[in-house]
Amino acid sequence: MRRLTRKTSLSVALYLFTSTATASAECAWVLWSFQFNKDSGVESQEVDSAHATRQECDGAVSRKATILKARGWDVAGAFPGSYEVLGTKENNTWRFYCLPDTVDPRGPKR
């Protein structure tokens, strides 16, 4: 009986360890949008979209770079595997970047 209890305890501990490790590896990724106008000093930062994997979010960054270029923005940082793209046009800056869903670049909620 004692041996069965020890074996069960070990199995439960192993299950908890592996389920916790799996959960932390499965975080979602968020595409953030940051806009800034030099003339007015107005800036905004918000969630653009959410993605299941980092690769999907990277793909969204690449699509944003294509859109910015098509609209006449100067684009930097748009290359395969990049998690960020920066567009500038006149006095405006637009940045798209990926972060894990556990990170909020706006800081802690008040």
pLDDT at 83: 82
Does residue 48 register a pLDDT over 60?
Answer: yes
Q: What is the DSSP letter of 105?
A: T
* pTM exceeding the 0.85 threshold for the entire prediction: no
Q: How far is CA 12 from CA 17, 65, 69, 95, in A?
A: 9, 48, 54, 46
pLDDT at 28: 96
Q: What is the DSSP letter of 78?
A: -
Which position has the higher pLDDT, 10 or 106? 106
Cα 43 vs. chain centroid, distance in angstroms?
20
In contact, 46 and 61? CB cutoff 8 Å: no
pLDDT in tens, 60-100: 999 999 999 999 999 998 666 668 999 999 999 999 999 99
The two three-digit tokens of residue 1, written as one number: 């009986």
pLDDT at 27: 86
